[in-house]
Structure 1
Amino acid sequence: MNKLEDGDVFKVKFFLLLLFLFLQTYLDAYEGCQSSKKPDGTKSKIDVAHIQNDASRESMERWLAGGFALEAYKVNYLLPFGYANKHYLSNGRPVSYQNIEAALQVSLKRKIVSNLFGLHGVCYLAYSHESFWQLYTYSAPFRETDYNPEGFVVFPVDDEQYSVKIRSLKFALAHKSNGQPNTKNVYVNGEKMNNLSKSINYIYSTMRMQRDTLIIDFTVQMPLGTGANLSDNPDIMDYLGYNKIKFTYFYKKSILTLMGRGNPRTLRGAVEATYSYPLRDETNLYIKFFSGYGESLIDYNHNITKFSVGFSFSR
C-alpha cells in the first residue's frame, strides 16, 4: 500500500471532518424533532424521592441536575478550518507547518467574592487557553497553545447621564505563557534554535460602555516589570500595544465584533472581526478574521492575516 502524500492526507481529513459535522448537525436536528425534552437516559431512572437523609437527597438531586460551578468567560470555540496568508514558521524545530489549520479556545471563570469593599465589585478567577492545531498535516501536531490564567474584579457603574453610558470598570492581573522550554542555547543540525519560551505578566483595566445594542470595551494594559520578566520576548509590547478597543454589536440574533489594538510609536498591532449566529441550543456559527501581530505568543512578531470558520459554544 502506497504512503499517502500530504495533499491526500489533507483531503481525507477534510472530508472526514465535513462528514462528521454533517452527521452531527443532522442527528441534532432529528433528535430535536423527535423530542426537545427527553431526559438523560443515564440518570433519568434514578429515584431520589425515597431517600430519607436530606443531605444525601440534596446531593443526589444536584448530581442529577448536572450543575456546573464555572461560567463561560471569553468565547469558547472550535474552528476546524483556518486559512492564513503564509506558512507558519517552525522556529528552528525540524517540522514543516502549513498555512491551513484548526483552532480551539476554552475559557472559564469562577466568581470568588461579591460586593468587594462594599462597592458591589465582583471578584473572579479565570482561565483560558487557545490551541492552534495543524490538523491537516500528516501527524496533526498542535503547533502552539497559549495559557492565560487571570484574576480580576468588576465594579458596576451607575451612569444614566449621557447617550453612551459607562457600565463597568474592570481591573485585572494576568499571566500568559505558551508553556515551552527555554531554548536560547539549543542547536538543531548545527543551527541555533529560536527561543520557544514566550510569556508575559501584565495588568490591565477595561472600561465598558453601552449605547443601545452596541457595547464598547476600552482596555489599557501594561507589562509587569522588565528584564527577566520579559527576557523571553523583551519587545513584545512593540507588537501587542498598550491600548485596545472592541466593539460588540447585537443585530437581531447575530453578534458582530470588531477589535483593534496597537502601539502608536511602532505603528504595529492587529485587527480582528468576528460574526456569530445561533444554530441550535448553545451552538453557534462562528467566523473570525484576524490581521496583524500577536495571533499567538510564538508568532507575536510575525504579521499574519487569517480567515477561520467553525462553531462557538458561548458568545
Structure 2
Amino acid sequence: MRYIFILLFLYTALFSAETSSRKGKELDKYEVSEIEDVEAKKGMQKWLNRDFGLKPHKVNYILPYAYREGVYKSYVPTDEYRNIEAELQVSLKLYLGTGLFGLNESYYLAYSHQAFWQIYSDSSPFRETNYNPEGFVEFPILDKDSLLNMKSIKFGLAHTSNGQGSNTNVVYANPADNPGNRSRSLNYMYSEFAFQHDTLLTEFTLISPFPGTADDLDNPDIMDYLGYTSVKLNYFTAKHMFTLMGRGNFTTGYGAVESTYSYPLIDDAYFFMKIFSGYGESLIDYDNYITKFSLGFSFSR
C-alpha cells in the first residue's frame, strides 16, 4: 500500500501541469457570464476557480526518502523505528485584511502540519506529527533607504505541539511499561525582520515563549535546544533556489542548521532536497541531535 501511495504521488506531480492547462477548458462547460444574480455569479465563479484565499506559508512538500544517522528513540517498547522514513509538510495562510492602523499592514492566519511517516516499516506508523497554528501581522517598510534595505517587519503569536496527551500521572503495574511523557508543546511570540539584497533575501527572527509557559512540564528545557534567534538566507540564481537556516541558544550552545535546494520541474512542482543537522528536527526529538538528508518534491517554495 505504501508503494502505491508513492506511485500515485509521482503520477500527480508529473501530470499536474497538463491538468492546469486544461482548467480553463473545463470551466467552459458552465454558463456563468449570463447569470443576473451578481452575488450568486461571484460565488459560483469563486467555487469554479477553487479560489478560497489560501496561499502557501512555509514550504509544502512530500519527501519519500528521508535518511538520518543513528536511530530514533522509541517511547513505546513495541515501536521499532527505522532510520529511513517519509516526511510531509502542508503549510497555508489566509489573508484577513489590510490597514487597520493605517500603516498598510496585512493580517494573516496560518497553519502548518508536519508529519514523519515510517512508510518503510511494518504497518507504516506516523512516528511524529507536529501542529503549528499562528496569527501574524506584517508591516511593509516603504523607505527604500531603510537600514540594511529592510523590507518588512512581522509580529506573530503561535502555538506548536505534537497532539499527544500527558501521561505523567499514569500509574503502570510494571514501571518498565511506562513509555514516558510524549506530550510536547510551546506557546510563543515572534518578530521577523526581512531584508533584500538583489536575489538574496534574509529573514532574522526573534522568538520568546509566552510568560509563564517556558517551564512547561512537558518540555521545560525546550528553549535551551531551539534557541531564541534564527537567521534564514534565501538565494535565487536562474531557476535554482538555495536556503540556509541557522538557529540556536547562545547560552547553552545548542541549535541547528538546515539547508535546502529546489528546482522547478513543471508548473507548481519542484525537485526538493533538504539537509538538517542539530536539535529540534521534530518536537518529540527536540533534545536529540539528528543529522538527516531528505529528498523529494515540493509544491511551493
In structure 2, the CA distance between the partners of 1:144 and 1:152, relative to structure 1 (3 Å rule), is same
Q: What is the aligned partner in structure 2 of residue 48 from structure 1?
A: 32
Instruction: Give the C-alpha shift of residue 184 in structure 1.
Output: 1.7
For structure 1, which segment, 52-61 or 208-217, has the greater mean C-alpha deviation from structure 2 after superposition? 52-61
Structure 1 residue 313 corresponds to structure 2 residue 299: yes
Contact 1:200 1:229 in 2 (8 A): no
Aligned position for 2:260 = 274
Q: 1:206 to 1:46 in 2, by over 3 A?
A: same
Structure 2 residue aligned with 1:252:
238
Q: C-alpha offsets along residues 80-110 of structure 1, whole Å, 9 cap, x if unaligned?
A: 1100112211123521111101111111111
Return 5+ residue gaps in structure 2 as ranges.
none
- Of the three residues 242, 253, 265, the one matched with 2:228 is 242
Separation in structure 2 between the aligned mates of residue 163 and residue 169 of structure 1, nearest angstrom: 12
- Distance in 1, matches of 2:12 and 2:214, equals 48
Instruction: State the Cα RMSD in Å.
Output: 2.4
Q: 1:262 aligns to what?
A: 248
Give the match for residue 303 of structure 1: 289
Map of 1:111 onto structure 2: 95
Structure 2 equivalent of residue 100 of structure 1: 84
Question: Is residue 121 from structure 1 mapped to residue 105 from structure 2 by the alignment?
Answer: yes
Instruction: Tell whether the 8 Å contact from 1:149 to 1:174 is kept in structure 2 after alignment.
Output: yes
Please tell me whether residue 80 in structure 1 is matched to residue 64 in structure 2. Answer: yes
Deviation at 1:295, TM superposition (A): 0.5
CA deviation after TM superposition for structure 1 residue 225, in Å: 2.4
Q: CA deviation at 1:37?
A: 4.1
User: 1:129 Cα shift?
Assistant: 1.1
Aligned to 1:153: 137
What does the per-residue CA deviation read over 1:43-99, in whole Å, with 9 as the maximum and x for residues that have no partner? Answer: 542223443433333322222222121111111111111001122111235211111
Q: Is structure 2 residue 47 aligned with structure 1 residue 63?
A: yes
What SS does structure 2 have at the residue aligned with 1:116? coil
Deviation of the 1:13 alpha carbon: 4.9
Q: Tell me, yes or no, if the aligned pair for 1:163 and 1:211 is still in contact at 8 Å.
A: no
Q: 1:215 aligns with which of 162, 180, 201?
A: 201
1:9 maps to which residue?
none
| Percent identical | 50
| Per-residue deviation, 1:224 | 1.1
- Residue in structure 2 matched with residue 134 of structure 1 by the alignment: 118
Distance in 2 (alpha carbons) for counterparts of 1:51 and 1:269: 58
2: CA distance, partners of 1:94 / 1:49? 61
Contact kept in structure 2, 1:93 and 1:188, CA below 8 Å: no
1:224 to 210, 230, 248: 210
Matching residue of 1:184: 168
The structure-2 alpha-carbon separation of the partners of 1:25 and 1:52, relative to structure 1 and needing over 3 Å to count, comes to closer
Q: 1:125 & 1:25 partners in 2: Cα distance? A: 28
Query: What amino acid maps onto 2:67 in structure 1?
Result: Y
Q: Distance in 1 between matches of 2:295 and 2:81?
A: 20
Segment drifting more, 267-276 vs 221-230: 221-230
Partners of 1:70 and 1:21 lie apart in 2 by 22
1:155-212 per-residue CA deviation (whole Å, 9 max, x = no partner) reads 1113433794111111111111111010223448532322111001111111111111
Compute the displacement of 1:120 (Å): 1.2
The verdict on how the C-alpha distance between 1:130 and 1:72 changes in structure 2, with shifts beyond 3 A counting, is same
Preserved contact between residue 214 and residue 223 of structure 2 (Cα < 8 Å): no
Residue identity in the other structure for 1:70: L
Q: Name the CA distance, whole Å, in 2 between partners of 1:105 and 1:184.
A: 29
1:168 counterpart letter in structure 2: S
Partner amino acid, structure 1, of 2:292: K
TM-score w.r.t. length of structure 1 = 0.87
- Do 1:184 and 1:193's aligned partners in 2 also have CA atoms closer than 8 Å? no
SS in 1 for 2:70: coil
User: Is the CA contact (8 Å cut-off) linking 1:291 and 1:303 kept in structure 2?
Assistant: yes
Aligned pair count reads 299
Range moving further from structure 2, 291-300 or 113-122? 113-122
Report the residue type matching 1:62 in the other structure. Answer: K
Bigger radius of gyration:
1
User: What secondary structure sits across from 1:60 in the alignment?
Assistant: helix
Q: CA deviation at 1:254?
A: 1.0
